[in-house]
Structure formats: C-alpha cells, structure tokens
Structure 1
Amino acid sequence: MLRREHSWNDHPILPYVRLCYRFVSQPFFQGERRLLDYLFLSMEKGRYILTVEGADYELNEGEFALIQPGVLFTTRGFGDCVVPNAHLDFFYNPARAQSFVTTPGQANIAPYAHLLQPRLNDFPEVDIPVLLRAKQPQLYRDTLLQMIEQFKRNDIPSTLKVQQLALELLQLLLGSGGGGAASYDFEGLQFVRKMNAFLSFNLSAPLSVEEMAKHAGYSESHFSTVFGHHFGTTPHQYLLRLRLQKAQELLGTTTLKLEQVAAYCGFASDSHLSKAFKRQTGLSPREFRAGDRRGALRENGEGVPGMD
C-alpha cells in the first residue's frame, strides 16, 4: 500500500472509542475487509493468524496487535478465543458519528473515504508494526481493560475517562508512554514475525534448517544464531513445540484419527507423534483427548460416561 505523508498540524488528536469489548469465540475465519478506524487487539486466550496486506502474523496469548485504517486484512482464530479489543479514532473528524465498524467482506471503503482515519504510519518517523512487542505489556493490557470497563457505563464521566485512556494508548503506541512499539527492535520483530508465520503455515512439511534459513535470507550458521537469540531455543525444538501445540489443538477440538493429526502436524507417523507427545505432556494423545473431553463435559455441566 502506498504511503501518504501526513502532518501532525493538519490532524488534531481527539480520540473517540466506537466499540470496546471482550470478543469471545470458538475457531473461526473472517473474510477480507478494510477498516475506517483503528482496531487494537489483546490476545487473552487462544491464537490468531492475522493476514494484513498479504503478510501473516501470529498473535498468541499475552500479545497485542494494531490494525490501522484502510489496510486489507483477514482474521483466523484457533481454539477458544478471548480477545479484548477496541475500535477507535485517534484523530478528530466532525463526521465521526457517521463512521462505523466495517464487517467481513467489506473491502471497498471508497464511498466512505471522508470517514477514513489517517494512518499513524503515514506520519513522519512513525513505523508501528502490526504485532506489538511492548517492553511493558501490562501497561497495554491495563489500559485496554480499563477502557472496556468504563465504556460499559455509558455516562459522561466514563466517556471522558475512556477518551483519556485512548489518548494514553496512543502515547504507548508512539513510544512516549514507557516501552511502546516504536522503541522496539523493528528488525528483530520482523524476523520473529516472518519465521512464526512461515513455520505455522508449514507444520506438515518436513522442514530443514537449510530451508528455514533460505526463507529468512541467511546462511544456516547465521540463521541458527539469530534464531536462538530471538526465540531462546533451536529451530528444530521450536518447530517441534509448534507441532505439538497444533496436535493438542486438533486432539481437543476435532475427531480426526491419530494418523491424520500426525500428518497435519508434520510427524512421520502416529507412533512418532505419540512418543513426542508423551515426552512433552506426560500423556499419550488418546489420554489427552479423553481428559480434554471429560473437562469439556464438566464445564458444560454434563455427566461423563462411566464417571458417575
């Protein structure tokens, strides 16, 4: 997407929170759309894959993301997802009451160009990534959760408080509030983001370190060093961790046969999966699946056959 330079003098800052709540859902996919405003996400539970302008970003528990106005994106949720979020304007627009949260499939927003917020990344010296790696994540989390609580009250004092919190969020994003995204190692963030997306979408493939390094554009030795620095483990160990996480997800949410789960998660056979799974969790896949179902039945208030 082309970058258009904006001036801070031309766009008065006056936040306006349009929608602010905890999104709760089971696995889902939302089609392409563009926003007129900003969407700030906090991953409280579950996992998201955000595809923004063709690039994939994995959002895990405890992480944050910012979707800026006008960019094309899709959202895919895995597992039971709990996602506190806020749709908001950062800049004043006299027609802001006419603006709205677009829906999946609404990719053409040309008729509403007069409602489109300026993107932060179109201002000088601002480059905020989609996936935020805040040095002080608790500040982001507390700010968003307070916004949600105040937004529910729908009175004048709470409205003013929500506006104040939205301004504090903007300060965090711009790096002036103590560890915002703008002050983070952007090159390192790009590497982490790129590798997470590549590995997540190639779990079933027999990936080698050579192939991973080639995708990253590094030699094998340099890739292993950089990977260890950012992920704290070896490429193979991290890939195994992702495969086992995916296996747990499939075992807990589907009725796929064990050999199918093994194939989808990149294991040579169901026995290969079983051995790795047992080492990691202390349970066999069948034991894990049985236990997961019993837990789900208890949460729903249903009896478990043979357990009365």
Structure 2
Amino acid sequence: MGTSRFPLFQRNFVLQARSTTHHWEGTGPLSLKTFRNGRAYYKTKLGHYAVEREGYLLLNEGEQYAIAIESETEVDSFCVFFKNGFAEEIHRAVHLGIEKSLDDPFSETTHPLQFYTKSYRNSHLITPLIESFKHSLPVLGSENLWVDEQYQNLIQALLNVHQKMAQEINTVPGTRPATREELFRRLTVAYEYLHAYYSQNVSLEEVSKIACLSKNHLIRNFRHFFKRTPHQFILEKRILEAQRLLAQTESSVTEISLSVGFDNVSSFNKVFKQRTGLSPRMFRKK
C-alpha cells in the first residue's frame, strides 16, 4: 500500500479509472467519490465507509483517509477533486449577495468549509450532475468553460445538500446545537459501519462501541433519525443487494443468501418473501 500526501492543489480535476485492486492512503482536497460495478471501502478517523452505485462519499479538505478495492470484476471510479478554497469562494458569493460580491469579488476566506463526511444516497440534486459530467467529459473535456461550469454546478449542489442536512440535524434530540451535531456524528458512524459491513454478523454491542453510544441511545436515536432500527436497516440492505444479484448475476439462491449475510437459505427465503411478496426464484423469473 502506498502512502503519500497531496500537495496544495491549485486546480480542480477528475480521476476516472477501472480496476479490480487498488490501495491508497493519504490526504487530499475536498473530493466527491463515486463507483460503479462494485464497492470501494474507505476508512477515516471518523469511521468506515462503503461506496457503491447507489451513492457517493464526500471527504473534506485535508482529511486523512485510506481506500481499498478488492473485487473479482473491474470497479469503475469517477472521483471529482476541488481545488483548495473553491467551495469557500462559491459559498461566499452565494451568502454575501451580489452587491458585496461586486465590491470585492476576489477576496479569500481563511477557514475551509467543513461538509459532513458521510456517504450520501443518490439524489436529484447531485446524481444528474455527476452522470452528465461523466458521460460528456470525453467529448467536452477540452472545453475549459464547460468544465469549469461543471465544477461550479457541483459545488453549488453540494452546498444545497449541506444546508438540507443541517436542517435535518436540527430534528435530532438535544437542547444545544453542539449536542445535536455530536449525536448526529455518532449516529452517522453507526450508519456507515452497518452500511459497510451489512453482510457480516454485526452485534449491537459492536456498533454501540464504535459509535460511542449506549445500546439504548443507539437504537432510540437511530430509529428517530433513520426511520428504522439498526437491524431493520441491515435487513433492508441485504434484501436490496440480493435483488440486484438475482437480477444481474447467475449465482445460485444459496450463494446469494450467504453472500449478503444470511446463515442459511431457508431464513433468506422467508425474509425475502416477507419483504418483496415473492420467493427469490419467482423474483428472478419475473
């Protein structure tokens, strides 16, 4: 595994690759990570993250992280890196308004923005921009004006998502903003761990220790914020992945049941039918 540190980036850029194996560790600028046809695992001081087709990961400027890809098939990556100060520049322009921006359009902010480090579900705000950028880049990548507009649009959308997330955090129980922020951070650690290791036999004690929350607080607040218990979340993730494998692969029902975390195929069949209304074999045939 290589270890390095990014220099101070002076430009925005995209890294697009395809690989079955990749390991890297270091720090970087603000970046948005997306992957298709497989998973990439990230680890930061805040927690564990699995990034796949259904979402993206956002890492802050200067954040230390490690990435690992180990796959039998090639995993497609499309990662967008933003130069230092770029998000702050756009944030300042949006919040100062046109008059103050006209008075001093090129002033710099001294403190980098801190987005919420987490994996985000695909959304109408971000996903269409990423897909359009990725598919048009081979044709329009030499057009500097078009490329610059894509980075601007993405940061603006990320700022909108960040604002919506801040509003959601205000619904977390707690009397002080700092308390709500910290509780949300710990709940996110639990969520990301469950998302990354849903196919393993994770215990409540294990998750509560990782999130630094008591079992009672974890279950109660996880349900409040994510609208399901940790176990319900894992079951939902397992069934969704099983549906994908049934539709896109020729693996047997037994192989799929084991790969998504069920101890035996009979339990898998029962839970799958309860949640979808069909047996795995009938689901595959439809």
Tell me which interval the TM-score lies in, with the shorter structure as reference length.
0.5 to 0.7
Q: Note the aligned Cα RMSD (angstroms).
A: 4.3
CA separation in 1, counterparts of 2:226 and 2:201? 21
Per-residue displacement from partner, 1:224-256 (whole Å, max 9, x unpaired)?
221112221223222211232344455554636
For 1:86, the aligned partner's letter is: V
Partner of 2:275: 280
CA separation in 2, counterparts of 1:49 and 1:242? 16
Alignment of 1:235-250 (within 5 A): 235-249=230-244
CA separation in 2, counterparts of 1:151 and 1:278? 44
CA separation in 2, counterparts of 1:70 and 1:269? 40
Partner of 2:144: 159
- How many residues were matched structurally? 237
For 1:232, the aligned partner's letter is: K
Match of 1:196 among 192, 195, 207: 192
Greater length-normalized contact order (CA 8 Å, ≥ 6 residues apart): 1
CA separation in 2, counterparts of 1:236 and 1:36? 34
CA separation in 2, counterparts of 1:81 and 1:146? 19
Distance 1:144 1:20, change over 3 A: farther
Partner of 2:162: 180
Could you tell which deviates more after superposition, 213-222 or 225-234?
A: 213-222
Partner of 2:66: 73
Partner of 1:233: 228
User: Could you state the TM-score of these two structures normalised by the residue count of structure 2?
Assistant: 0.60
Match of 2:127 among 131, 141, 154: 141
For 1:166, the aligned partner's letter is: Y
Partner of 2:103: none
Match of 1:86 among 77, 80, 90: 80
For 2:274, the aligned partner's letter is: R
Deviation at 1:267, TM superposition (A): 2.9
CA separation in 1, counterparts of 2:210 and 2:85? 39
CA separation in 2, counterparts of 1:191 and 1:284? 33
Partner of 1:31: 23
User: Could you state the TM-score of these two structures normalised by the residue count of structure 1?
Assistant: 0.57
Q: Which runs of 5+ in 2 are unaligned?
A: 1-7, 87-109, 170-180
Identity of aligned residues (%): 19
Tell me, yes or no, if the aligned pair for 2:18 and 2:77 is still in contact at 8 Å: yes
Match of 1:222 among 208, 217, 235: 217
Distance 1:69 1:163, change over 3 A: farther
Distance 1:171 1:238, change over 3 A: closer
Per-residue displacement from partner, 1:143-165 (whole Å, max 9, x unpaired)?
4445443663245xx31232243
